[in-house]
Structure 1
């Protein structure tokens, strides 16, 4: 294939491909990864992808506008923020008058139709018979991500198996809103913040805090990440989390399966996952034994029990029992869906409050109205979190403009169908493009402006919702995120207590002064986000 022909497929010449490899891919390799052996292996992989896989979309969906694979790869390896990628490549496509909010681009599963239309998303997410979930990691057995995420869990199952698990878990998630536990961990956070001097990296701090929350709320395990950030279990989990977020392994999973012996750091991540899974197995066995021996705390309210306990109790009272493997797989999914997502949402909320002090003060006044303005920590009740109207508006607008989840797990069309008048052939992969739908000027007025008023009663969001799913940071339809109410309550408790305790602002030299700068792969996260906090009491 000539340089000209390759450019036609990828948007790059061979010389540009060489620059991409040497300038952006090689520096991502660690330790001895720049050795001749590894460089040759990666070069061979790039060649394979260029000549065999990186082509135009299959003819069945070639009628859709598309973004080439190497254009996406180059953007990711350059670290282009999600917002820049959206403005440069996606919004010009979906904002055209003739476009119905659908376009194609390649990802880890292959060529996928991205759906950024409220009406089309509603049809896709409501018709699970036509658009069932697809295996998100086909052909990746043995990779770190596959070992952590794949399995018989409520996120990935379809049909009767999914319905059985969802039916069992729904009561647990509706009962478990442990606001006292949330509040106690916020107080632990405050004690750590008081010992800090200068700006605080809230991205890191929220990651640590939400790890403690998901550990205690999920299965009554205290990581002590907030107050002991270097302890053994925190390092174990961080090794897993960081390992799954590296672009190299996302684009080249075969390295994880066939060439792991070349990457010492990657082997450490796999060993960390071994330890983590063994720990979960031990917790499950211990919980089952305690319930069998009736070792329960009768004074503990259901909403303060951990999710694992509630699921096991539910199976004892007539619900379908989950196997240890199913419980382990679902606990992993709780971490994946509930840790990084909520941590980054909280970081983004804190950022927008720092950028817009008038909005921060209005939210503080609401917290004082509900919880009082006495100079002492007050933990909200479940009922009080429901009264936080303006704080909830800020949370929802943050999840619109900078929602950590930018797309949902892929669906696969089970038959020939159509979306918004566009033919979708059987077998096509599709995903809801949440971020770009939230930023589409054909849907939202002035979408790049942070405006919580959109979410007041009868406001823009309410009017848009009558015709589809324009706001869906938690997905939608029958497979709406089971932990949505849990996460929103967690955010309200943290933010209301933080507003009463501190005022905060961005440092003058913040890299985020004009716009929040984020990554562009996986869960959206801010680059180092330093905030200056000042105590009120």
Structure 2
């Protein structure tokens, strides 16, 4: 199928795509992740609502990126629409983070493998913010995760089972930024914490999703414990 863009479409993508690419700042995402870590530190060893904290983290990143404004976490909780109006795409990235964290908790052997990969690149130093060159080396791990879960769920022979950003001329303009953001957050969490599923969680055997504007996890909670190096 041939895709035909209007002049408006072409102009928009021509302007927006470089804007997303120029925003690739692992350091900025890392600074926001340190705020996330501070929050987790206050809630260690007890269930945390993962969807909520990932949404707040994503909104904070977008606030800094778009306006140079740092949202207070309590402010976002009291007035979530203020952050939500920044950019609706924050939902898709925070959802991706939720799914990744869930499966890394469900399969601790894969969480440990991912952690070993991150440590081999960043060293065993919690709160280290990866730079762009280091992230390129960590990207091999994401392919391992995808292959692992595909084998677990027998989805490796299903065409188009993995196209999170679509493809072709109308693919997601923010995909590089989203992938970078996810890698920074997950890498820093792997250095700092182990996380597990609570014993009585309803998502113990399967991740339950509820339809909203986009799919969202149902009552997804994780327990974070600080690693002993």
Q: Does the TM-score normalized on the shorter chain lie above 0.5?
A: yes
Q: Residue 188 of structure 1 is aligned with which of 6, 25, 35?
A: 35
Question: What is the deviation of 1:221?
Answer: 2.0
Query: Residues 210, 222 of structure 1: CA spacing in aligned structure 2 closer, same or farther, 3 A cutoff?
Result: same
Aligned partners of 1:363 and 1:390 also within 8 Å = no
Give the number of equivalent residue pairs. Answer: 227
| RMSD (Å), alpha carbons | 2.6
1:119-518 counterparts in 2 under 5 A?
123=1, 127-129=2-4, 159-197=6-44, 198-225=46-73, 229=74, 231=75, 234-238=77-81, 332=86, 335-337=87-89, 339-374=90-125, 376-393=126-143, 396=146, 449=153, 471-518=162-209
Aligned partners of 2:20 and 2:173 also within 8 Å = yes
For residue 413 of structure 1, what is the aligned residue in structure 2? Answer: none
Question: What is the deviation of 1:522?
Answer: 2.8
Q: C-alpha distance in 2, partners of 1:342/1:220?
A: 20
Q: What is the TM-score with the length of structure 1 in the denominator? A: 0.39
Question: What is the deviation of 1:390?
Answer: 4.3
Q: C-alpha distance in 2, partners of 1:167/1:395?
A: 33
Query: Residues 235, 181 of structure 1: CA spacing in aligned structure 2 closer, same or farther, 3 A cutoff?
Result: same
Q: 5+ residue gaps in structure 2?
A: none
Q: Which has the higher contact order (CA 8 A, sep 6+)?
A: 2
Query: Residues 397, 160 of structure 1: CA spacing in aligned structure 2 closer, same or farther, 3 A cutoff?
Result: farther
Displaced runs of 4 or more, over 4 A: 394-398
SS in 2 for 1:531: strand
Question: What is the deviation of 1:189?
Answer: 0.9
Q: C-alpha distance in 1, partners of 2:146/2:23?
A: 22
SS in 2 for 1:497: helix
Q: Residue 520 of structure 1 is aligned with which of 188, 195, 211?
A: 211
SS in 1 for 2:13: helix
Q: What is the TM-score with the length of structure 2 in the denominator? A: 0.88
Q: C-alpha distance in 2, partners of 1:224/1:162?
A: 35
SS in 1 for 2:215: coil
Higher Rg of the two aligned structures: 1
Aligned partners of 1:223 and 1:234 also within 8 Å = no
